[in-house]
């Protein structure tokens, strides 16, 4: 799963490498949780993931719950640029603390069944 997380990020990132002329490169991520695992996913983000993201240069922007589903977490993180995003994700998945947190969190089954991500840059008219 950790390798899949990195692979999805890097495939999408390669298509968006020239995305940012106005500041940050943003990454929109949508996680679909396995049945009954959304609360555990929230706990993992709340208690570990967000802090570990910041440790590796990823800026936590915002986290959302869709109004029409009960198994999805959507969030946006910011990166300095495409190179920083790639380096941050590589450092994140290699981090021993993250590997331990991840292993502990899936001891009773994987939390996430699907991850989608999109790299984005703001338009020149965006607030």
Read off the pLDDT of residues 93-126 as tens digits, 9 standing for 90 and up: 999 999 999 999 999 999 999 999 999 999 999 9
Q: Tell me the domain boundaries of the chain.
A: 2-120
d(CA 42, CA 6): 20
* DSSP conformational letter for 54: H
pLDDT at 71: 97
2-120 CATH, one of 3.30.379.10, 3.40.50.150, 3.30.70.100, 3.40.50.300: 3.30.70.100
On whether the CB atoms of residues 53 and 43 are closer than 8 A, the answer is no
Q: What does the mean pLDDT of the chain come to?
A: 89
pLDDT at 13: 53
Predicted TM-score of the model (pTM):
0.84
> What's the pLDDT band for 68 if we cut at 50, 70, 90?
very high
15: three-class secondary structure by DSSP: helix
pLDDT at 52: 98
62-58-21-11 Cα dihedral, nearest 10 degrees: -100
Residue 45 has pLDDT above 50, yes or no: yes
Percent of the chain past pLDDT 90, that is, above it, reads 80
On whether the CB atoms of residues 114 and 63 are closer than 8 A, the answer is no
Output the CA–CA distances (angstroms, integers) from residue 47 to 53, 70, 84, 85, 123, in the order listed: 12, 21, 24, 22, 33
Q: Which residues pair with 25 in a beta bridge?
A: 79
């Amino acid at each position: 799963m950790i390798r899949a997380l990195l692979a999805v990020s890097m495939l999408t990132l390669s298509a968006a490498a020239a995305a940012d002329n106005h500041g940050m490169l943003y990454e929109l991520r949508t996680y679909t949780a396995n049945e009954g695992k959304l609360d555990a996913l929230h706990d993992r983000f709340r208690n570990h993931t967000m802090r570990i993201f910041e440790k590796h240069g990823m800026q936590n922007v915002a986290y959302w719950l869709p109004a029409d589903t009960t198994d999805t977490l959507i969030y946006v993180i910011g990166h300095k640029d495409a190179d920083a995003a790639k380096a941050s994700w590589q450092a994140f998945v290699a981090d021993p603390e993250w590997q331990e947190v991840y292993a502990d969190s899936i001891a009773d089954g994987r939390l996430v069944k699907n991850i989608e991500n999109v790299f984005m840059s703001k338009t020149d008219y965006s607030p």
